[in-house]
Amino acid sequence: MGHAAAFEKEKLILAMLYTDESLAEEMTRQLIQTYGALDFSSPSYCFSEISPYYDEEMDGKVYRRMLCFQECRDPQELAAIKIHTNTLEQAGSVNGQRRLNLDPGFISCGRLSLATTKNAGHRIPLQDGIYAELTLFYARHAWHPFPWTYMDFKMPQVHEFLLKARNIYMKQRKAFLSESNE
């Protein structure tokens, strides 16, 4: 019989959609105040070229930036983090339309899981209307998509960001695993 144990800490990342660069910078500062310093962030890329899905709601050409936070966290926090980022999105809304879309997730050794409020067959209920989606898996030195993986999460530049984040995580994981064995 297996024994339940505490989850290993995982690497917090956040995918931000926005139309206003100054608003994205301000939100990044707020997120750093809440979740701590960044290891790094990705260059922005034009999300609208991949999908116009958010263009109307966000009233313009939409960009994506990815953030990787230094501190590893308990993956049980994912629902609470998503609830918090939803509150930030709502606070920044104008006339009921979001100006930012914030998608937090965790990187572990072998997966990227993202939080969402949308139910689907491949999503696991966490709590308070928040679901976890297994978005990518890591095997044979690369990230791999599922049929439901968002288009931009299949892009090489996103995989490069996630590989860099995973490499940092693996070093941190080695350190906290050796500390727990002492």
Residues counted in the chain: 182
SS3 (DSSP) at 110: coil
Report the pLDDT value the prediction gives residue 160, as an integer from 0 to 100.
Answer: 98
Report the pLDDT value the prediction gives residue 179, as an integer from 0 to 100.
Answer: 75
pLDDT averaged over 10-residue windows placed end to end, the chain, 182 residues: 91 97 97 98 96 93 98 97 97 91 98 97 96 98 97 96 98 85 64
The dihedral sign for the CA sequence 160, 156, 34, 126: negative
Report the pLDDT value the prediction gives residue 115, as an integer from 0 to 100.
Answer: 98
How far apart are alpha carbons 13 and 107 in whole angstroms? 7
* This prediction's pTM: 0.94
Long-range contacts, 23-32 (Cβ 8 Å, 24+): 23/92, 23/99, 23/100, 24/63, 24/65, 24/100, 27/88, 27/92, 27/100, 27/102, 28/65, 28/67, 30/88, 31/67, 31/69, 31/88, 31/102
Residue 97 DSSP code: B
Report the pLDDT value the prediction gives residue 96, as an integer from 0 to 100.
Answer: 86
Report the pLDDT value the prediction gives residue 176, as an integer from 0 to 100.
Answer: 83
106, 12 contact by CB (below 8 A)? yes
108, 136 contact by CB (below 8 A)? no
- 18: closest CA among 80, 103, 79, 87? 103
User: How is the chain split into domains, by residue range?
Assistant: 10-171
Report the pLDDT value the prediction gives residue 180, as an integer from 0 to 100.
Answer: 67
